[in-house]
Amino acid sequence: MRKIIKTNFGISLFIFGIIILSLFIGFISDSPATEKTRVRWIGVDQINKIIEEQKPVIVDLRTPGEYQRGHISGAINVPIETLRSNRSTLDIYKDNPVLLYCRTINKSDLAIWFLEGRGFKSIYALKGGYEAYRLHSR
């Protein structure tokens, strides 16, 4: 009889733990979206819509020379090396949507990681980078 009671108590405790864990996970997943960074990769066919609707700060992560040879209208040039050495460089835009692009996508991946760590909430990154944009805009 004692063994049955101990087994039932153990099972009840296990089920109770599962219920508490489920409630906790549900609480976390219902937290406001502003608590997490939202990263969205967009294609060149979406860029104009995002710029018009979201009015993001457009950040060109390429070198100054690459930027001078051509860039997306309205973009500011913050080379990835600058962002790497001073991660707070873009902090004044933390509450704004940010649209990142580089030549292809490698620097954008790194910049996303930096900005997520700084608490940026809304980040867009251009699939294919400036090369895709340039080819699409011809």
> What pTM value is reported for the model?
0.73
Q: 40 near 123, Cβ under 8 Å?
A: yes
Sheet of strand 76-77: strand arrangement: 38-42, 122-126, 98-101, 57-60, 76-77
Which helix (H) or strand (E) segment holds residue 124: the answer is strand 122-126
Does the active-site annotation cover 102? Answer: yes
Classify the phi-psi angles of 56: left when phi > 0, otherwise alpha if psi is within -120 to 50, otherwise beta. beta
| Beta pairing class for 122-126 and 76-77 | unpaired
Model confidence pLDDT, tens digit, residues 79-122: 999 999 999 999 999 999 999 999 988 899 999 999 999 999 99
Model confidence pLDDT, tens digit, residues 5-62: 555 666 655 555 555 545 444 433 333 334 577 999 999 999 999 999 999 999 999 9
Q: Which of 57, 102, 111, 112 is catalytic?
A: 102
Q: Is 129 exposed, middle or buried (0-12, 13-18, 19+ CB in 10 A)?
A: buried
Query: What is the C-alpha separation between 14 and 50, in angstroms, rounded?
Result: 48
